[in-house]
């Protein structure tokens, strides 16, 4: 499988404090890759820097093209989308209008496929079709997460980066959301999934990276990590 995203010696500092130290990570086409790790390990920093929202050093390669200085604009133009931890929906706007905004960059570039994109999102999240006219601030937590993912999919990304989609959701809803995330590979979308819910994430991912204090402590097939003694003791607990 071709590598879609490759980070090498990827580092980020906040002033004199290094939050990410020489990370090596890749996502191949069609893969779901998860990054797990404790609070403050640098997971959000990793996604924000890979999206061009924070300055980084080291190298970032997308589908074989080295991106010298990643900016949001270059990353969006190359098919990368980020669903931030706080969802960042427009609460006073309807589900449909939130979705339309997700495709803004495409429409601005002259693409006129809003209806087709929205239809695809509605197929992935049928509940969004039912609620298309509802104000997004009145959606349930799970529905808001689905809308945030749907909005990112409107941009037709090749790589979707998700920051803790399970945050604040009941276990049953977490499973539902992550099942949809794992089905995205059938729609030609690769996923980089940051999660504190290590078990749920490893269950849907192909591979995983464990980030601890800004560095990759361990990586491998998700099925191997699920059975790794250290991972079980530190991140999975009983159950």
In the DSSP assignment, the letter for residue 94 is: B
CA distance 176 to 160: 18
Q: Residue 186 CB, nearest distance to ligand ATP (Å)?
A: 28
CA distance 54 to 141: 28
CA distance 59 to 116: 35
Torsion of CA 108, 63, 195, 182, to 10 degrees: 80
- In the complex with ligand ATP, the residue whose CB is nearer, 155 or 169, is 169
Q: Residue 191 CB, nearest distance to ligand ATP (Å)?
A: 17
Q: Comparing C-alpha atoms, which of 221, 147, 151, 162 is closest to residue 43? A: 162
CA distance 148 to 151: 5
Q: Residue 169 CB, nearest distance to ligand ATP (Å)?
A: 15
- In the complex with ligand ATP, the residue whose CB is nearer, 122 or 209, is 209
- In the complex with ligand ATP, the residue whose CB is nearer, 67 or 215, is 215
CA distance 200 to 221: 14
- In the complex with ligand ATP, the residue whose CB is nearer, 23 or 62, is 23
Catalog residues that contact ligand ATP under the rule CB under 6 A: 14, 17, 19, 37, 39-45, 196
Q: Residue 124 CB, nearest distance to ligand ATP (Å)?
A: 26
- In the complex with ligand ATP, the residue whose CB is nearer, 58 or 79, is 58
Q: Residue 37 CB, nearest distance to ligand ATP (Å)?
A: 6
């Amino acid at each position: 499988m071709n590598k879609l995203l490759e980070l090498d010696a990827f580092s980020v500092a906040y002033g004199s404090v290094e939050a990410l130290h020489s990370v090596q990570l890749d996502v191949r086409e069609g893969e779901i890759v998860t990054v797990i790790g404790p609070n403050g390990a640098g997971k959000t920093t990793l996604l924000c820097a890979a999206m061009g929202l924070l300055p980084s050093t080291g190298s970032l390669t997308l589908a074989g093209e080295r991106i010298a200085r990643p900016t949001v604009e270059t990353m969006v133009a190359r098919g990368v989308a980020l669903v931030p931890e706080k969802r960042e929906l427009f609460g006073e706007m309807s589900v449909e209008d939130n979705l339309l905004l997700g495709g803004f960059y495409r429409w601005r570039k002259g693409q006129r496929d809003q209806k087709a994109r929205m239809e695809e999102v509605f197929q992935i999240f049928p509940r969004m079709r039912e609620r298309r006219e509802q104000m997004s601030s009145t959606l349930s937590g799970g529905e808001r997460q689905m809308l945030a993912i749907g909005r990112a999919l409107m941009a037709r990304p090749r790589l979707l980066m998700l920051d803790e989609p399970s945050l604040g959701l009941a276990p049953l809803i977490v499973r539902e959301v992550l099942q949809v995330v794992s089905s995205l590979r059938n729609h030609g979308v690769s996923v980089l999934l940051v999660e504190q819910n290590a078990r749920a994430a490893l269950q849907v991912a192909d591979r995983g990276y464990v980030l601890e204090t800004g560095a990759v402590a361990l990586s491998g097939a998700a099925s191997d990590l699920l059975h790794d003694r250290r991972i079980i003791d530190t991140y999975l607990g009983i159950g």
